[in-house]
């Protein structure tokens, strides 16, 4: 039973209302009468609220059901919704400032709600709602009808189905603002300087991660730890790329605080514990500028890459205009430098660039060369740059370290390659053994392309690969973007210590020929990858299975998260 407000109602009134519901008469909306039973409006409202909260209230947005059991009906029959689901509900940015002001941003609309007050503001215009925004159960709740109105949705309550229905009334107005800058909304992290080390990949990844935590949290994370304490075979001047950063974070090897691992001293202490658990990372489709912009305002900085001919702040380049801090490379060179997109300006003049691009517009980017570079560490990259927006990473699921007690994994290097049957679909499974009595809480894996569909199965008693055909379906779903995702299971399964079990994913990725992410010894950077630490299986149809460690010399990227009983 979810945590909802309870109201004490006389049992006689409840029985009378249910038994005589077909004979109830309303008199000016104030009195409800039937035979010798009289119920005033207050009691009637309490009965409606009680009945609504007896079961989970469902939420449907533009025909799509939102998976939640957190909303409830308040005593004045107002549906209260937590801030934690508003981003998914309205496809908007949701951020809390100073633990008092909740800000929703969606296309051209900004709505501000203030804790414990009924006043709120939509694009600066003052509005009033029936109930204030309140803090409850470590979340912030506000009336759904007003939140919907502020974001351009119609609200309908279906009492028969206990369902709140939202319909977008302004489909034609879904246009992104022409300019947006995370600095203006206190969601851009501090400028860093990588110095003489080849750590732009680590600095950019953690800068994007820090931005995704803001403004609720302002952390300075340690690139040194990411550089030295990952599972790859490389050194600080050999560089890296975004998949290495994602693997380090998904494996819970970090991040750690800069204060605990100082940058640039070529030393990183062992046994530091992560201060956050990264559970979701999205890879945005190449050159999909609207999607990149949407990620910036919803989640924070987007890590991307450019080809840079500049090696330091004093270096001059054909592609960089120092006076305007404007960069544009048009050519065949591949990306060699990681940066973070923190905004955009559609009207940024093409005349600001040394090599004039086809049109106006630029991404506002944060570099890793200190404040002496560009505009206090910021520069503008033309929309027409050859490489900006090809590789794009945004950290969309960052949780506290108390979210799960255990992580089971065999892919510390993460997504190194892909496996499959020249088809868009495949089954893959990993076998694990509980250390204690544990409940299986969630499963994590990669989607290697957009619009990926999945089914998750569980085998509670694994004996051999034939056990995989006795699987039980526990969850189905869909990912709009490629990336790494953690999927919570709807029902926790408790297993005794020493239990061997298997998790199975059936995956379908449009246009893919190898839809399963794997770890293997692909070259010098993954030469030390341990391929003996897992037991994984793959199948085309889910009937005949082969062991990937034995047959393919690889590990599957399929993690399990558990809690101790």
pLDDT of residue 159: 86
209 and 197 in a common domain: yes
pLDDT of residue 17: 44
pLDDT of residue 40: 62
Q: Report pTM.
A: 0.89
Asked if residues 513 and 422 have their Cβ atoms less than 8 Å apart, the reply is yes
Residue 399 domain-assigned (yes or no): no
267 and 379 in a common domain: yes
Q: In the 3-class helix/strand/coil scheme, how is 43-73 assigned residue by residue?
A: HHHHHHHHHHHCCCCEEEECCEEECCCCCEE
Q: In the 3-class helix/strand/coil scheme, how is 458-511 assigned residue by residue?
A: EECCCCCHHHHHHCEEEEEEEECCEEEEEEEEEEEEEECCCCEEEEEEEEECCC
Residue 554 domain-assigned (yes or no): yes
Report the alpha-carbon distance of residue 481 to residue 370 in Å, rounded: 32
Nearest CA to 149 among 233, 81, 249?
Answer: 81
Among 173, 196, 219, give the residue marking a domain's end: 173
CATH number at residue 325: 3.90.70.10
Our count of domains for the chain comes to: 4
93 and 34 in a common domain: no
376 and 264 in a common domain: yes
Among 139, 173, 207, give the residue marking a domain's end: 173
> How do beta strands 25-27 and 406-408 pair?
unpaired
Quick one: how far is CA 459 from the chain centroid?
A: 28
Asked if residues 52 and 157 have their Cβ atoms less than 8 Å apart, the reply is no
What DSSP line would sit under 280-292, residue for residue? EEEEPPTT-HHHH
Quick one: how far is CA 559 from the chain centroid?
A: 17
For residue 522 the two structure tokens come to: 């692909």
Among 150, 173, 196, give the residue marking a domain's end: 173
pLDDT of residue 311: 64
109 and 136 in a common domain: yes
The CA radius of gyration of the chain, in Å to the nearest whole number, is 27
Nearest CA to 404 among 430, 376, 432, 441?
Answer: 441
pLDDT of residue 439: 97
Residue 384 domain-assigned (yes or no): yes
92 and 35 in a common domain: no
288 and 160 in a common domain: no
Residue 129 domain-assigned (yes or no): yes
Residue 134 domain-assigned (yes or no): yes
Residues of the chain under the 50 pLDDT cut: 1-37
pLDDT of residue 36: 47
Residue found under tokens 């001919």: 309
pLDDT of residue 312: 58
416 and 269 in a common domain: no
Residues counted in the chain? 565
CATH number at residue 163: 3.30.457.10
Cβ neighbours, 10 Å, residue 390: 15
CATH number at residue 474: 2.60.120
Residue 468 domain-assigned (yes or no): yes
Q: Which pLDDT tens digit goes with each residue over 153-207?
A: 999 999 889 999 999 877 656 678 999 999 999 999 999 999 989 999 999 999 9
Q: Which pLDDT tens digit goes with each residue over 527-551?
A: 889 999 999 999 999 999 999 999 9
10 and 150 in a common domain: no
Residue 158 domain-assigned (yes or no): yes
81 and 150 in a common domain: yes
385 and 246 in a common domain: yes
Residue 400 domain-assigned (yes or no): no
Domain that holds residue 538: 405-564
504 and 386 in a common domain: no
Report the alpha-carbon distance of residue 392 to residue 292 in Å, rounded: 8
pLDDT of residue 1: 39
């Amino acid at each position: 039973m979810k945590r909802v407000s309870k109201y004490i109602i006389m049992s006689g009134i409840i029985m009378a209302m249910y038994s005589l519901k077909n004979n109830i008469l309303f008199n000016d909306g104030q009195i409800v009468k039937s035979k010798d039973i009289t119920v005033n409006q207050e009691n009637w409202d309490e009965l409606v609220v009680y009945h609504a909260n007896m079961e989970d209230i469902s939420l449907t947005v533009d025909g799509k059901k939102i998976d939640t059991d957190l909303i409830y009906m308040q005593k004045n029959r107002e549906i209260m919704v937590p801030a934690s689901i508003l981003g998914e509900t309205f496809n908007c940015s949701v951020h809390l400032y100073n633990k008092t002001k909740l800000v929703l941003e969606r296309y051209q609309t900004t709505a501000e709600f203030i804790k414990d007050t009924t006043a709120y503001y939509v694009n600066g215009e003052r509005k009033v709602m029936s109930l204030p925004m309140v803090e409850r159960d470590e979340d912030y709740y506000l009336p759904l009808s007003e939140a919907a109105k502020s974001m351009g949705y119609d609200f309908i309550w279906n009492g028969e189905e206990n369902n709140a229905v939202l319909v977008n009334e302004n489909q034609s107005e879904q246009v992104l603002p022409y300019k947006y800058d995370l600095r203006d909304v206190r969601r851009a992290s501090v400028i860093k300087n990588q110095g003489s080390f080849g750590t732009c990949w680590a600095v950019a990844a953690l800068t994007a991660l820090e931005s995704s935590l803001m403004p609720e949290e302002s952390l300075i994370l340690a690139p040194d730890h990411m550089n030295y304490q990952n599972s790859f075979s490389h050194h600080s001047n050999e560089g890296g790329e975004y998949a290495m950063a994602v693997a380090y974070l998904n494996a819970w090897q970090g991040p750690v605080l800069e204060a605990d691992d100082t940058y640039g001293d070529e030393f990183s202490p062992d046994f530091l514990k992560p201060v956050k658990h990264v559970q979701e990372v999205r890879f945005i489709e190449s050159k999909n500028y609207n999607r990149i912009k949407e990620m910036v305002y919803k989640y924070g900085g987007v890590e991307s890459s450019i080809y840079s001919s500049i090696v330091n702040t004093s270096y001059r380049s054909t592609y960089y205009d120092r006076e305007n801090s404007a960069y544009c490379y048009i050519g065949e060179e591949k990306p060699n430098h990681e940066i973070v997109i923190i905004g955009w300006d559609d009207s940024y003049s093409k005349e600001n660039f040394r090599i004039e691009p086809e049109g106006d517009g630029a991404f506002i980017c944060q570099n890793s060369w200190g404040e002496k570079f560009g505009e206090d560490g910021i520069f503008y990259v033309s929309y027409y740059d050859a490489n900006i927006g090809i590789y794009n990473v945004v950290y969309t699921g960052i949780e506290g370290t108390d979210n799960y007690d255990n992580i089971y994994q065999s892919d510390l290097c993460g997504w190194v390659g892909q496996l499959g049957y020249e088809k868009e679909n495949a089954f893959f499974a990993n076998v694990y053994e509980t250390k204690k009595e544990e409940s299986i809480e969630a499963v994590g894996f990669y989607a290697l392309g957009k619009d990926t569909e999945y089914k998750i199965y569980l085998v509670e008693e694994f004996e051999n690969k034939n056990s995989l055909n006795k699987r039980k379906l526990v969850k189905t779903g869909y990912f709009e973007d490629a990336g790494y995702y953690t999927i919570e299971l709807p029902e926790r399964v408790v297993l005794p210590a020493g239990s061997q079990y298997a998790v199975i994913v059936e995956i379908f990725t449009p246009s893919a020929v190898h839809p399963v992410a794997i770890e293997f010894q692909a070259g010098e950077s993954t030469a030390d990858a341990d391929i003996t630490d897992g037991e994984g299986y793959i199948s085309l149809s889910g009937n005949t299975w082969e062991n990937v460690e034995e047959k393919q010399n690889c590990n599957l990227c399929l993690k399990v998260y558990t809690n101790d009983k």
